[in-house]
Structure 1
Amino acid sequence: MAENKSLKAAVPLEKPWSFYGENGELRGLAVSYFRVLSEELDTPITVHAVPAKRLIHGIEMGYYDLTLMFADQAQDGAVSIVAPVLKLDKVLVGLKGLDIKNRQDIEGLRMAFVRGASSGSWIDNNQRIKKITTSNYRESLWLLKQKRVDAITGSYPVLENILTKHDMSWDDLNRPYLLSCRFVLLMFSNLSKHYSQFKAVQVTALKMKKGQKWEALLREVSEVAPSMLAQHNHEKFLSY
């Protein structure tokens, strides 16, 4: 494959999506996904782990060709959906004792928001919620632990990984309140210099989900972030 056909993929620098191992190697579920996609496509894909805000800016400007994100994270017309990857819940949590049953309980809260991230719900643009911007989810949880915010949002896999960093567990938090259930999508930048490869990537990504390598990826998910493979019936959550 010619060198100018190689693609750049941006992934969120947030465990379990991507992280650096003990020897400095880049690991994580998104990293593994693009490794398998590269093998099946027979095209080099270099993976860049970056903060959420830089990821969105880079994919919108065409600095990166591919990424994994929610449908509403980038500006309209900036990206094209290639294929669905996994369904993911976004939840809102606070410290134990915070009782959240409906929208009215959320309005007026101080909430930490990771720069460039999206909850996929009405709270993203609600002016009655005081939003404190953070660099990453670990910083958001630290603010919550210090009681400098009332609540944070995030997906189960990300929250599971950062709780241990602060010597916390789910027992320290209130019952999660479901905000959204959406597909994480493989996206192609509309400004990519390699957009002519869109169809080939799409065909490969969809075909990949029917093969043995996809089953291997799911096994990795079940080991690293089992909540990603939940049935999403949401009976365990409080209603809206």
Structure 2
Amino acid sequence: MAELEVAKSTKKIITTAKSKEEPFWGKFKKISLEILIIMFAVSLSIGLHSLSEARHEQHEVKVFLTGLRKDLKKDREEMSDDINGYETQRRAFQYLSKLEKGQSANPDSMKVYAQDLTTFTGFMGNRGRYEGFKSSGKILFIEDDDLQNNILDLYEESVPLLNQRTDFYKNEKLKLNDFIIEKTTDYPKGNLPQILGSDQVKNRSNMYLASVEHIIGNYRECISKIDEIITGINRHYPEKAK
């Protein structure tokens, strides 16, 4: 439509300019009017195009954020389960760290905590949707600055720090397992209670306690950030009641 109006006005301008019968001021007024019509038509076209683009961008934001909300709810559940796992590992290391010098681990306690000494817990998470939206440069389409910043903080700072600490903890815990297997005769029986009560295991248990405390704290910070993000998404796109 705008292109048609521009073409019509342009044709009128050319016709008026070529007219030999029209006086100068008459030509001037007609040409000026047509130029104004062209400017209005172009401005309207640009405005409508911009509005259409903005609506499309915000539709993409809605699709992303409502999908992200589902991802974050799953991540929150995984994190809560991980915290429970680290809580039991913390109790295992608390037990070992409190053994008196020369005291062997209690066989019954070993049964309770044995799995916690050999298992590893790490956050997997659902990053695909976020990474795709970020790599396309569309994160900036989110007009709520606080929500945008919280999402970036979670995925670029909080989660990487959590993964960094859990990876370090896993590597250190592997060293503990290697030490226990190397020093234990007839593993997992034999002298395992004495090895678990040794100064080396006790010292490592104290170090792991500090690591576990930091990791649990990181998990809780991530959950708090997730709750903020979900609240922010709900503000713009409330979930429908089921």
**TM-score with structure 1 setting the length:** 0.20
**TM-score with structure 2 setting the length:** 0.20
Higher strand share: 1
Higher helix share: 2
Which structure has the larger Rg over C-alpha atoms?
2
